[in-house]
Amino acid sequence: MHTKLTVQLYDANLASPTFQCNLENSIQNLIFGTKLHGGFSQCSFSLNLNRLMNYKYAYLQPGYRIVVSDCGSTLWEGRIGDPMFDAAGNPGFTAYGYYSSLDDRAYYTSYNAAFDTVLKAMLTNACPLINSDQTQINPGALTMSTVVSTAGTNYLDQSVKTLAEYLVQQSNTTFQKWYMAVWENRRMYLFTRVTTTVKWQVRLKDFKTAKWLLQLQNLWNDVYAIYTSSGTLTRTSEYTNAYSIAQYGLTRKYAIANLGTVSAASVAQNTAQSWLAYYQTIWPSATNIDLFDSVYDANGVAWPSWYVRAGDTIQIVDLIPTTGSLGTVAANALNTFYIAETKYDFAQQMNTLSFETKSLDLDAVLGGSLQPVVI
């Protein structure tokens, strides 16, 4: 099952890359991961080389491209960012996926358009390391609403990463969660959380450690929002989910703090409904999931667990009886989970998973320190 990894080093010229060498025979402590938002996240390793080669790799090649692959399938891709030495003089590295390049340049042009249009423009104008192929930034039938990136000077002179992660939270009129990720060949993907298809199946014996926490305090199935309209403090209608109330046997009501002045009540209404859609189910708030080296696809075929990445859905088939709604193909936080982050340790032959969690910090839902969009 455990096949041989290839770790290849290229120079920093992405237009016409020059292959440097294979590193897998000199690498120790290899760890690589994926994350949402982000795609390929971090890759760290140390090298066992002579002193001259130590100097060459530690000091002369920041920004060089690293590709981790298995039989031609890319498992991780990014650029060297943080070279280091240990006390014995051995070099170590942390590399970062190309999503990190969205932080390379400040951006100061405003748009008033659908989010996918804004994202494509920002990538074209300020993210030269991202592939110009934007075919995966296409919401299709799931219409993304217009976002007003001209709503104040706090939208100017921000990195593309800061702006994109804020604006994507404002752009979903279907109340679904959207993610951005840079995957193979530095292509940007924009996609919704899809849980109707289970990609991986495992049993409890496939885990080294499996522990997660479900907290009632993260459940809200009756929600309204407060906003200001024409100088008057106003409340939206209350939005409830009858299935959630019946499933858990109680109603928990949440009031979203004052969103400020909005020109249309629909802004506050959409915010309340988005909150309800996000919190009407109790999801894990803390996870500690260490997966051994094998996972299984829908046909029962075994794969190395390094193929599991953020954005995949995984089902633990023997965790609970699959009766009623628990047997449906959907992320239910009981036996089927949406993966938000992975970290594969090659030496341990183990993949640590983090499932999608819920934060009660409104700033996290609305995108951080920037203010809600006023439409």
Q: HEC profile for the chain?
A: CCCCCEEEEECCCCCCCCEEEECCCCEEEEEEEEECCEEEEEEEEEECCCHHHHHHHHHCCCCCEEEEEECCEEEEEEEEEEEEECCCCCEEEEEEEHHHHHHCCEECCCCEEEHHHHHHHHHHHHCCCCCCCCCCECCCCCCECEEECCCCHHHCCEEHHHHHHHHHHHCECCCCCEEEEECHHHCEEEEECCCCCCCEEECHHHEEEEEEEECHHHCCCEEEEEEEECCEEEECCCEECHHHHHHHCCCCEEEECCCCECCCHHHHHHHHHHHHHHHCCCCEEEEEEEECCEEECCCCCEEEHHHCCCCCEEEECCCCCCCHHHHCCCCCCCCEEEEEEEEEECCCCEEEEEECCCCCCHHHHHCCCCCCCCC
Is the separation of the CB atoms in 33 and 81 below 8 Å? no
Strands 222-229 vs 232-235: parallel, antiparallel or unpaired: antiparallel
Kindly give the confidence (pLDDT) of every residue in the chain, 375 residues in length, as a single tens digit, with 9 standing for 90 and above: 456 789 999 999 999 999 988 888 888 899 999 999 999 999 998 887 666 666 666 665 778 999 999 988 999 999 998 777 766 666 778 999 999 999 999 888 777 777 888 899 999 999 999 999 999 997 765 566 666 555 455 667 889 998 888 778 765 566 677 899 999 999 999 988 776 788 999 998 999 888 777 778 889 999 999 988 888 899 999 999 999 999 899 999 999 888 777 656 777 888 888 888 878 888 776 667 899 989 999 889 999 999 999 999 998 888 776 554 444 556 666 788 889 999 999 999 999 998 876 544 433 333 333 333 333
Is the separation of the CB atoms in 75 and 32 below 8 Å? yes
Residue 181's pLDDT is 97
- Predicted TM-score (pTM) of the model is 0.82
Number of Cβ within 10 Å of residue 244's Cβ equals 20
- Only one residue has tokens 């604006």, namely 167
Is the separation of the CB atoms in 48 and 90 below 8 Å? yes
Residue 373's pLDDT is 35
